[in-house]
């Protein structure tokens, strides 16, 4: 059964712009939908906060504040935030839609990955986190569920610090068991979270990719948390024999139990990952995970065999020396009849012939070795080394520098090698040349001045200058026309990395005071709102209220609010008051009567008169017990 059919948001248009097409996922704090931006005609992901959390003003304020900050974090491996807004009780984020799956889906389906695949996923994750750490963000909830792998192979990290889980430790759901598996010890003990908690989580994710299993397990979250604090993450080779030692060292470094023992942030860990990869051979990178070794296939043709030297070069026969010993193995020679001189000379010639043959064989063998191996060498690992260091290592390996190219890089410092062509470990002829690609550091551009321009033109200008239009927020302005840009964050003239997201503030025009139309009939309310320059939307559901059936029970936004001209006010109509049976309180004390009537949902008024000034007994009630009256209405009790 399609559960999206039961979701009231599917098929609706939020904020007059985002058409909700399908539900993708449900989390503890929000639901994610696939939606269409009807203005720009593009598919995106809409993350809608659960209404129970949306009622908490401070939570919503923090959600919006952090969303604005994350929108300025532009990186090709970060899921981009485009917009944020509210529609009635719905608070939402409009985000980049990634068609594909999560790393959790991959691990669930395939189990352990080859080291090359695991590093191919880890490196863009660390690049994204490194950009976040430099911008002052800590993800705090890194796990395979937050690593998205697109159908085109792109790897992106989602949920950058938008919300912090409030019950991660105490809940016992399966989702939380997944979360506690990646918590750093200091998160558990002190509740602190700096970039090194993300480094720890990435180390655990790497372990899981290499082994197909989490490093710590238990029957409850408490057991897992205890192990994180008191036990080291085991080396992955303990579960997958044959894994390279460098991978064990990488996991151990990232998951050190004390923060001081880990790389200081994701960028530092990325550098360590690149160095580890460069030091691994192709065989080590392509080592088959455990499940691939037990599929019944011999793999004999896939393995590289080592042929013993004794089978490649004929061993010379033992040659008798002048002392009578067998020169090859020094075995004592048995006494033999004397050898005639002529035979002795022939024997010596035979020895010379055999030695010559042996030398020829060795010479031919050496020639074959030289042709097959001696003319070749491997490109040494040069990543993150300075250009001078790279040249020195190439010259030491008998190689030349063909040319030096330079390009911008967000992850490699200026002046250091980004990559080589051919790459590290590649087989290359002696005295051949290698191309070095050296980092220029991050590319920076000036933020253009787009104030006063329509939003679509401002976005186009930012893209033309190498920047990404970020989240759009809207504010009232008496000076800037509705729909035009008030300003950007960061402001015009600020230098930013190429590709950075620039938040845009757009004018909602002059504010309009929203009139109070509660208690009015629909036609009258519609007219009042239209006269104020506002649009009207009627909610499909009606509610009980103190107002008569068909009158406006409530409105959003309410009285005293301000809206932009052309904004929509949602009206909820009344289906009349709820009728409730009135308790019989005649003869009760005044206190008991109050408790009974107020408990049933009524207000209470007292009529004491002159005779009831000192009385405490109810003699009469305005609506007799057993009859019904509108909930919330007033019942008058007469006291004597």
| More confident site: 344 or 453 | 453
What's the pLDDT at 291? 58
Q: By the 8 A CB rule, do 387 and 354 touch?
A: no
> Considering the chain, what is the average pLDDT of its residues?
80
Instruction: Give CA–CA dist 268/262, Å, rounded.
Output: 9
What is the pairing mode between strands 603-607 and 628-630? unpaired
Give the up-direction half-sphere exposure of residue 141: CA atoms within 13 A in the CB hemisphere.
19
- Say if 497 falls within a structural domain: yes
Q: Are residues 191 and 254 in the same domain?
A: yes
What's the pLDDT at 524? 95
Q: What contacts 24+ positions apart, CB below 8 Å, involve 246-250?
A: 246/276, 246/279, 246/280, 246/284, 247/115, 247/206, 247/210, 247/276, 247/280, 249/276, 250/203, 250/206, 250/276
Task: Find where tokens 């049933």 sit.
Answer: 600
Q: Are residues 430 and 449 in the same domain?
A: no
What's the pLDDT at 226? 87
Q: Say if residue 137's pLDDT is above 90.
A: no
Listed in sequence order, the residues at least 6 apart from 479 whose beta carbon sits closer than 8 Å to its beta carbon are: none
Instruction: Give CA–CA dist 477/334, Å, rounded.
Output: 114
Task: Calculate mean pLDDT across residues 228-242.
Answer: 91
Instruction: Give CA–CA dist 339/162, Å, rounded.
Output: 98
Task: Calculate mean pLDDT across residues 379-386.
Answer: 84
What's the pLDDT at 29? 78
Final residue of a domain: which of 524, 545, 573? 573
CA dist list (Å): 96 to 34, 79, 341: 10, 6, 96
pLDDT-derived band at 160 (thresholds 50, 70, 90) equals confident
What's the pLDDT at 128? 93
For the chain, how many structural domains are there in total? 5
- Say if 532 falls within a structural domain: yes
Of 515, 504, 503, 506, the C-alpha closest to 563 is: 515
DSSP 335-357: P-PPPPHHHHHHHHHHHHHHHHH
Backbone angles phi, psi at 385, to 5 degrees: -90, 155
Q: By the 8 A CB rule, do 140 and 198 touch?
A: yes
Task: Calculate mean pLDDT across residues 318-327.
Answer: 35
CA dist list (Å): 354 to 224, 309, 325, 473: 71, 20, 18, 91
Q: What is the DSSP letter of 333?
A: P
Q: What is the DSSP letter of 78?
A: B
Q: Are residues 503 and 515 in the same domain?
A: no
Task: Calculate mean pLDDT across residues 59-69.
Answer: 73
Of 230, 208, 223, the C-alpha closest to 169 is: 223
- Say if 308 falls within a structural domain: no
What's the pLDDT at 411? 66
Listed in sequence order, the residues at least 6 apart from 190 whose beta carbon sits closer than 8 Å to its beta carbon are: none
Query: Over the stretch 394-428, which tens digit does the pLDDT of each residue have?
Result: 998 889 999 999 988 766 778 888 889 988 878 88
Q: Say if residue 358's pLDDT is above 90.
A: no
Task: Find where tokens 């009780």 sit.
Answer: 89
Range of the domain at 588: 579-639
Task: Find where tokens 């750093």 sit.
Answer: 184
Of 55-59, 389-393, 478-482, 624-628, the least confident: 55-59
Task: Find where tokens 């506002």 sit.
Answer: 534
Q: By the 8 A CB rule, do 569 and 518 touch?
A: no
Q: By the 8 A CB rule, do 506 and 460 touch?
A: no
Task: Find where tokens 């010479």 sit.
Answer: 363
Instruction: Give CA–CA dist 576/571, Å, rounded.
Output: 15
Instruction: Give CA–CA dist 466/343, Å, rounded.
Output: 91
What's the pLDDT at 461? 93
Q: By the 8 A CB rule, do 285 and 277 touch?
A: yes
- Say if 268 falls within a structural domain: yes
Final residue of a domain: which of 523, 540, 573? 573
- For residue 304, count CB atoms less than 10 angstroms from its CB and return exposed for 0-12, middle for 13-18, buried for 19 or more: exposed
Take residue 524 and report the two structure tokens written for it: 């009258």
- Say if 566 falls within a structural domain: yes
Q: Are residues 545 and 593 in the same domain?
A: no
- Say if 179 falls within a structural domain: yes
Final residue of a domain: which of 406, 439, 472? 439
- Say if 87 falls within a structural domain: no
Of 604, 622, 625, 601, the C-alpha closest to 546 is: 601
Q: Are residues 586 and 542 in the same domain?
A: no
Q: Are residues 260 and 144 in the same domain?
A: yes
Q: Are residues 108 and 162 in the same domain?
A: yes
Q: Are residues 237 and 256 in the same domain?
A: yes
Stated as kind and residue range, the H or E segment containing 196 is helix 195-211
Percent over 90 (pLDDT), the chain? 44
* Continuous H helices in 550-616: 590-599
Q: By the 8 A CB rule, do 453 and 425 touch?
A: no
Name the E strands within 379-443.
400-407, 417-421, 427-429, 433-439
Q: Are residues 170 and 249 in the same domain?
A: yes
Listed in sequence order, the residues at least 6 apart from 462 whose beta carbon sits closer than 8 Å to its beta carbon are: 447, 448, 450, 468, 469, 502
Q: What is the DSSP letter of 373?
A: I
Q: Are residues 602 and 501 in the same domain?
A: no
- Say if 432 falls within a structural domain: yes
SS3 content of the chain, % helix, strand, coil (to 5): 35, 25, 40
State yes or no: is 584 an active-site residue.
no
Listed in sequence order, the residues at least 6 apart from 250 whose beta carbon sits closer than 8 Å to its beta carbon are: 203, 206, 272, 273, 276
* CATH code at position 631: 3.30.10.20
| More confident site: 319 or 495 | 495
Instruction: Give CA–CA dist 427/430, Å, rounded.
Output: 10
Q: Are residues 236 and 151 in the same domain?
A: yes
Marked catalytic residue, from 15, 56, 120, 141? 141
Query: Over the stretch 447-477, which tens digit does the pLDDT of each residue have?
Result: 999 999 999 999 999 988 888 888 788 889 9
Q: Are residues 132 and 173 in the same domain?
A: yes
Instruction: Give CA–CA dist 545/50, Å, rounded.
Output: 25
Of 181-190, 192-201, 302-311, the least confident: 302-311
């Amino acid at each position: 059964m399609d559960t999206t059919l039961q979701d009231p948001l599917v098929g609706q248009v939020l904020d007059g712009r985002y058409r909700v097409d399908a539900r993708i996922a449900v989390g503890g704090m929000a639901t994610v939908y696939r939606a269409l931006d009807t203005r720009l005609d593009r598919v995106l992901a809409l993350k809608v906060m659960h209404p129970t959390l949306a009622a908490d003003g401070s939570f919503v304020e923090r959600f919006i504040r952090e969303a604005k900050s994350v929108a300025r974090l532009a990186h090709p491996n970060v899921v981009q935030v485009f917009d944020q807004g509210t529609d009635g009780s719905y608070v939402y984020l409009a985000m980049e839609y990634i068609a594909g799956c999560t790393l959790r889906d991959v691990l669930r389906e395939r189990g352990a990955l080859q080291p090359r695949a695991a590093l191919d996923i880890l490196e863009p994750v660390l690049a994204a986190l490194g950009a976040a750490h430099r911008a002052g963000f800590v993800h705090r909830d890194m796990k395979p569920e937050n690593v998205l792998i697109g159908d085109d192979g792109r790897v992106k990290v989602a949920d950058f610090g938008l919300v912090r889980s409030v019950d991660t430790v105490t809940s016992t759901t399966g989702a939380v068991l997944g979360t506690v598996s990646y918590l750093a010890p200091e998160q558990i003990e002190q509740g602190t979270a700096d970039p090194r908690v993300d480094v720890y989580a990435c180390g655990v994710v790497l372990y899981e990719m290499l082994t197909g299993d989490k490093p710590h397990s238990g029957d409850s979250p408490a057991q897992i948390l205890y192990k994180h604090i008191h036990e080291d993450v085991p080396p992955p080779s303990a579960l997958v024999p044959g894994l390279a030692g460098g991978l064990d060292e990488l996991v151990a470094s990232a998951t050190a139990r004390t923060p001081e023992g880990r790389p200081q942030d994701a960028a530092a860990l990325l550098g360590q990952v690149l160095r580890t990869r460069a030091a691994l051979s192709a065989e080590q990178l392509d080592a088959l995970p455990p499940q691939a070794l037990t599929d019944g296939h011999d793999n004999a043709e896939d393995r590289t065999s080592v042929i013993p030297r004794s089978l490649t070069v004929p061993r010379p026969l033992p040659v008798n020396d002048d002392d009578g010993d067998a020169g090859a193995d020094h075995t004592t020679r048995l006494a033999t009849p004397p050898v005639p001189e002529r035979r002795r000379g022939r024997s010596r010639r035979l020895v010379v012939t055999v030695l010559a043959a042996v030398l020829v064989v060795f010479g031919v063998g050496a020639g074959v070795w030289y042709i097959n191996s001696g003319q070749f060498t491997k490109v040494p690992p040069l990543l993150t080394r300075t250009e001078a260091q790279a040249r020195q290592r190439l010259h030491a390996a008998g190689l030349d520098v063909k040319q030096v190219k330079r390009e911008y890089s967000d992850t490699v410092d200026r002046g250091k090698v980004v990559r080589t062509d051919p790459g590290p470990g590649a087989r290359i002829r002696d005295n051949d040349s290698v191309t070095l690609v050296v980092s220029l550091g991050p590319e920076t551009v000036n933020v253009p001045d787009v104030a006063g321009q329509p939003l679509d033109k401002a976005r186009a200008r930012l893209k033309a200058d190498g920047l990404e239009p970020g989240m759009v927020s809207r504010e009232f302005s008496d000076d800037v026309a509705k729909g035009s840009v008030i300003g950007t964050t960061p402001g015009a003239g600020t230098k930013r990395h190429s590709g950075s997201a620039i938040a845009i503030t757009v004018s909602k025009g002059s504010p309009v005071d929203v009139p109070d139309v509660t208690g009015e009939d629909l036609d009258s309310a519609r007219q009042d709102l239209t006269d104020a320059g506002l649009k009207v939307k009627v909610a499909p559901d009606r509610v009980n209220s103190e107002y008569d059936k068909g009158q406006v029970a409530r409105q959003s936004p309410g009285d005293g609010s301000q809206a932009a001209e052309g904004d929509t006010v949602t009206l909820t109509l009344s289906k009349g008051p709820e009728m409730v049976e009135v308790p019989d309180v005649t003869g009760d004390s005044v206190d008991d009567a109050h408790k009974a009537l107020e408990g049933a949902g009524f207000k209470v008024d007292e009529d004491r008169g002159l005779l009831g000034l000192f009385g405490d007994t109810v003699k009469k009630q305005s609506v007799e017990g057993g009859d019904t009256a509108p909930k919330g209405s007033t019942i008058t009790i007469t006291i004597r």
